[in-house]
């Protein structure tokens, strides 16, 4: 009981939630602007994690620097996927007819390819490295420095994203597209360009999250899917394109996960995540925002 | 003219399949067994996902449950009962899970099926760990040849079910749901019940297949029984072959089983990469699948 009330768990929940905020916002962006669910989102987290892992292991580059490389790599990947695959889906009327099923199969294929390319290149065994793992005292909680860094970066980024969406012309365009696609193009927004941008941004955020959590978690080629699931839960709970809602939902999920595991056992972690996911989907099939979410 | 020809082709195929053990030896039986298994799985998948458009990425859950029920019962009841019980268990699970799940549409349904399969996988893992069991063995099971014929029967049954459903009012109703669910409901199709029936129907055979497959491998281990790769392979076979055509899964399964014989043992990752790339290519450039490509022009030439 003592440990449940300590700041230790609360801090762990905050860090988990902070990672989910970043992952989920990327998914939210892509889903919000294109209405396509990227089930390969977690694999981008994996790509980011491996980028930082290798740059640290081979060249001793701090993950705090290599995260920019991870973002750039993922954004390039996003642009390639958008221009090479996704645009084709929209271009063909026959594919557009069953867009959802086709796009899911496509992203699913993409995630399988990414997982197995990673497994082929880096071996399927989990890996980890140590960076900033000194323990410091924070109130009555002892935390490692890297977790503190994750939390700080996530907070700074959230503020930056909110400002970007409020103030920058492209941020406003993204918000417009999330709210109403047709209306957005009527008022002169270059839909193609904004979609490409949000694709790159979404991928970049996922890779950033991966890069950060590679400091604290074991990484493996198959680490991604639980993050896709977590992001999906957050997007549904928090609401489409709603960053503040997403932040609240991320923290909620972080708290549920951390405390749930602390109350039971760590072997139940996956059961807990998938259980929450299924409950959320079954109880609120259209999400908390209601039917607006699935209207194209 | 075409009807008797098609019938002859099917009969020839069945005859060839029956003659595999005496003619082709142990390796031939092993490959034919896995081919029959995948045909049964992919044909079953079509009943739900090909016809209603509700794409399931979690069909491994039915296969895995069947394997679990099979291994629990195999040494206690006659093996025929174990296989039937596995089918009933999977079908029953489909009804229970399908009732809430099928209200969820589009990408949500797809994610949900995947999530359910993963959840059941981890529940079984925790259950087995709680019981202190790490893998279960089947001792003294039937010979591979017997299992092959059982699997062949399941493949034939799955193909027959897909054929009959495709021709029936039920099948047309399912296709109507795929094309426009609201319109289907408006013209009086009991959408909810029909989807549930299709879901259950597409789960029974995979359950039975799981029980036979576990007898073939002689051991049960949750991570491999509920492996998402099983779901993925089913989907890819059906999509590559053609997911609204009886012959599609047959072609897709034959193609991928051949590919996996070449690659799976030595280079599983390369096999999976090829699978992913093929799936993407077929979705983008030939959504009608090999069957659609091969047979449609020929049909036009005849008529």
Core vs surface per residue B8-33: b (16+ CB within 10 A) or e: eebeeeeeebeebbeeeeeeebebbb
Instruction: Specify the number of domains making up chain A.
Output: 1
pLDDT for A124 beyond 80: yes
Q: Tell me if A120 and B123 make a contact (CB, 8 A cut-off).
A: no
Q: Which residue of B has its CA nearest to A84?
A: B284
State the Cα–Cα distance between residues B281 and B255, nearest whole angstrom: 15
B47-63 pLDDT, tens digit per residue, is 998 888 888 989 999 99
ipTM of this complex: 0.84
Domain containing A40 equals 7-283
CB A221 within 8 A of CB A118: yes
Core vs surface per residue B259-276: b (16+ CB within 10 A) or e: ebeebeeeebbebbbbbb
pLDDT for A208 beyond 90: yes
CB A226 within 8 A of CB A129: no
Q: Tell me if B107 and A100 make a contact (CB, 8 A cut-off).
A: yes
The alpha carbon of A227 is separated from its chain's Cα centroid by a whole number of angstroms, namely 7
State how far the alpha carbon of B161 is from the alpha carbons of A17, A197, B44, B156, B204, in Å. Answer: 47, 47, 8, 9, 11
Q: Tell me if A116 and B269 make a contact (CB, 8 A cut-off).
A: yes
State how far the alpha carbon of A100 is from the alpha carbons of A17, A35, A117, A196, B254, in Å. Answer: 29, 9, 26, 19, 28
In chain B, domain spans: 25-227
State the Cα–Cα distance between residues B59 and B178, nearest whole angstrom: 19
pLDDT in the model for residue A220? 93
Best residue in B96, B102, B122 to probe A by mutation, most A CBs within 10 Å?
Answer: B122
Q: Give φ, ψ of A98 to 5 degrees.
A: -120, 55
pLDDT in the model for residue B303? 34
For B100, the closest of A37, A106, A282 (CB atoms) is A282
A215-247 pLDDT, tens digit per residue, is 988 999 989 988 988 898 888 888 776 777 888
**What is the DSSP track for B110-127?**
HHHHHHHHHHHHHHHHHH
In a domain, A293, yes or no: no
pLDDT in the model for residue A85? 85
In a domain, A270, yes or no: yes
pLDDT in the model for residue B1? 45
Q: Which residues, given as ranges, of chain B have pLDDT below 50?
A: 1, 298-303
State the Cα–Cα distance between residues A48 and A70, nearest whole angstrom: 5
Number of residues in chain B: 303
State the Cα–Cα distance between residues B101 and B259, nearest whole angstrom: 34
pLDDT in the model for residue B301? 41
Domain of A204, CATH number, reads 1.10.3470
For A104, the closest of B110, B116, B276 (CB atoms) is B110
Gap from A275 CA to chain B (nearest CA, Å): 7
Q: Which residues contact B209 (CB under 8 A, 6 or more apart)?
A: B37, B40, B41, B44, B63, B66, B151, B154
pLDDT in the model for residue A293? 43
For A271, the closest of B103, B104, B126 (CB atoms) is B126
CB B240 within 8 A of CB B249: no
């Amino acid at each position: 009981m003592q440990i449940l009330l300590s700041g230790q768990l609360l801090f762990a929940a905050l860090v988990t939630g902070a990672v989910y905020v970043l992952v989920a916002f990327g998914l939210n962006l892509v889903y919000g602007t294109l209405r396509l669910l990227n089930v390969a989102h977690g694999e981008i987290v994996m790509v980011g994690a491996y980028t930082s892992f290798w740059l640290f292991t081979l060249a001793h580059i701090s993950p705090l620097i290599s995260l920019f490389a991870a973002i750039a790599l993922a954004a390039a990947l996003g642009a390639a996927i958008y221009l090479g695959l996704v645009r084709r889906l929209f271009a063909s009327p026959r594919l557009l007819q069953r867009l959802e099923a086709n796009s899911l199969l496509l992203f699913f294929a993409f995630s399988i390819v990414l997982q197995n390319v990673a497994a082929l290149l880096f071996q399927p065994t989990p890996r980890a490295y140590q960076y900033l793992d000194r323990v410091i005292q924070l109130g009555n909680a002892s935390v490692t420095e890297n977790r503190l860094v994750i939390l700080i970066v996530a907070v700074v980024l959230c503020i930056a994203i909110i400002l970007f969406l409020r103030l920058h012309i492209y941020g406003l365009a993204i918000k417009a597209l999330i709210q109403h696609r047709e209306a957005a193009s009527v008022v002169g927004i270059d839909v193609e360009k904004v979609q490409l941008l949000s694709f790159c941004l979404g991928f970049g955020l996922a890779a950033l999250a991966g890069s950060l959590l590679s400091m604290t978690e074991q990484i493996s080629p198959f680490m991604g899917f639980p993050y896709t699931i977590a992001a999906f839960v957050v997007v549904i709970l928090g609401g489409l394109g709603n960053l503040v809602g997403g932040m609240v939902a991320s923290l909620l999920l972080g708290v549920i996960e951390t405390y749930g595991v602390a109350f039971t056992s760590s072997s139940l972690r996956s059961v807990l995540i998938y259980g929450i996911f299924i409950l959320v989907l079954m109880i609120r099939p259209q999400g908390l925002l209601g039917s607006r979410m699935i209207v194209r | 003219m075409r009807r008797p020809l098609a019938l002859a082709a099917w009969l020839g195929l069945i005859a060839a399949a029956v003659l595999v053990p005496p003619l082709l030896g142990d390796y031939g039986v092993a490959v034919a067994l896995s081919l029959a298994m995948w045909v049964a799985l992919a044909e079953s998948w079509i009943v739900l996902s090909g016809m209603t458009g509700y794409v399931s990425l979690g069909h491994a859950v039915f296969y895995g449950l069947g394997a679990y029920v099979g291994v629990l019962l195999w040494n206690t009841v006659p093996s025929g009962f174990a296989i039937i019980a596995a089918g009933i268990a999977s079908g029953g699970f489909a009804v229970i899970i399908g009732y809430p799940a099928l209200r969820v549409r589009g990408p949500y349904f797809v994610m949900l099926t995947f999530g359910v399969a993963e959840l059941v996988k981890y529940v079984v893992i925790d259950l087995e760990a709680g019981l202190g069991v790490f893998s279960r063995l089947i001792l003294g099971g039937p010979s591979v040849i017997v299992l092959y014929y059982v699997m062949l029967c399941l493949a034939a049954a799955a193909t027959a079910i897909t054929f009959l459903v495709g021709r029936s009012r039920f099948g047309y109703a399912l296709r109507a749901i795929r094309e426009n669910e609201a319109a289907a409901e408006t013209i009086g199709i009991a959408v909810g019940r029909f989807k549930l029936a299709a879901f259950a129907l597409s789960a029974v055979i995979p359950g039975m297949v799981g029980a036979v497959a576990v007898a073939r491998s002689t051991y049960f281990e949750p991570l491999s029984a509920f492996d998402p790769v099983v779901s993925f392979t089913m989907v890819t076979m059906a999509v590559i072959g053609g997911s609204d055509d009886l012959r599609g899964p047959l072609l897709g399964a034959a193609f991928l089983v051949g590919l996996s014989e070449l690659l799976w043992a030595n280079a599983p990752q390369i096999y999976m990469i090829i699978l992913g790339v093929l799936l993407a290519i077929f979705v983008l450039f030939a959504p009608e699948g090999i069957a659609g490509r091969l047979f449609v022009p020929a049909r036009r030439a005849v008529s």
